[in-house]
Amino acid sequence: MRQVLLLFSVTLFASTTGRVITFDSFALGSTPPGWTVAISKGKTPPRWEVRQDQTAPTQPYVLAQVSRDPSDDRFPLAILEGVNLRDGDVSVRLKPISGREDEGGGLVWRYRDPNNYYLVRANAMNKTVTVFRIQNGQRTALPSVKHDIPLNAWSILKVSAKGARFQVYVDHRRVIDGQDAAYTGAGKVGLCTIADSVMYFDDFRVYPR
């Protein structure tokens, strides 16, 4: 029975159109099965673990990144295995908890390896939402906008990608519409934080199209 419940919490399918991960039947204090932890730069390994949060949108658990290396070019990553997405929507509910250097985190898409992928970061410290291209380990900022990301509160972050075009939404409102053709093929999807940001995540969703 536990194995059946675990499988149900990992993936909820509507035909073959989507996947939702709520983290609610995984073991506390561990990285969920089916996720690979990686890092772009920085010396301290990331620490992704399941935690309980009474404010979680889907009770009772969330996925948290809790390591605190303040290197400003450090991106702790949690990459979902078994999904390769070129065009589609990826979203998550996120809650910035703390950070002295930064209070940011977000979504990864078209991921090839820890040195090549796209990410969108929502930052509670400087109130910005920014898309980055990580290519050969070098970070390039793409579109960025000012947008309030509340600390210790939940926001919904979504990226919609089709070909070279990407659109970013916060709480269902489109805030960025941009293009970049560095990565046009399919890649993995996942989550990221930056520097010493402690972030909680819930309701990770992937919808190919």
- Kindly report, residue by residue over 180-203, the tens digit of the pLDDT: 999 999 999 999 999 999 999 999
Task: Spell out the domains of the chain, with CATH numbers in brackets.
Answer: 2-208 (2.60.120.560)
pLDDT band for position 42 (cuts 50, 70, 90): confident
Q: Are strands 187-193 and 104-113 parallel, antiparallel or unpaired?
A: antiparallel
Residue 28 has a CB neighbour count (10 Å cut-off) of: 10
Find the radius of gyration of the CA atoms of the chain.
16
Q: Is 4 a residue whose pLDDT tops 60?
A: no
Q: Are 85 and 16 in contact (CB under 8 A)?
A: no
Provide mean pLDDT across the span 27-44. Answer: 91
* Residue 135 burial (C-beta neighbours within 10 Å; 0-12, 13-18, 19+): middle
Separation between Cα atoms, residue 201 and residue 181, nearest integer Å: 28
pLDDT at 72: 75
pLDDT band for position 93 (cuts 50, 70, 90): very high
Span 120-143, pLDDT tens digits: 999 999 999 999 999 999 999 999
Type of residue at 105: G
pTM (two decimals):
0.90
Q: What is the dihedral of CA 89, 19, 75, 58, to 10 degrees?
A: 110
Residue 45 has a CB neighbour count (10 Å cut-off) of: 11
In the chain, which ranges are E strands?
Answer: 19-21, 35-40, 48-52, 61-65, 75-85, 88-98, 104-113, 116-123, 128-135, 138-146, 155-162, 165-170, 173-179, 187-193, 198-208
pLDDT at 6: 37
DSSP for 2-59 reads HHHHHHHHH-B-STTS-EEE--TTSPTTSPPTTEEEEEES-SSPP-EEEEE-TT-SSS
Separation between Cα atoms, residue 184 and residue 94, nearest integer Å: 27
Q: Is 23 a residue whose pLDDT tops 70?
A: yes
Tokens of 32: 């969920």
pLDDT band for position 11 (cuts 50, 70, 90): very low
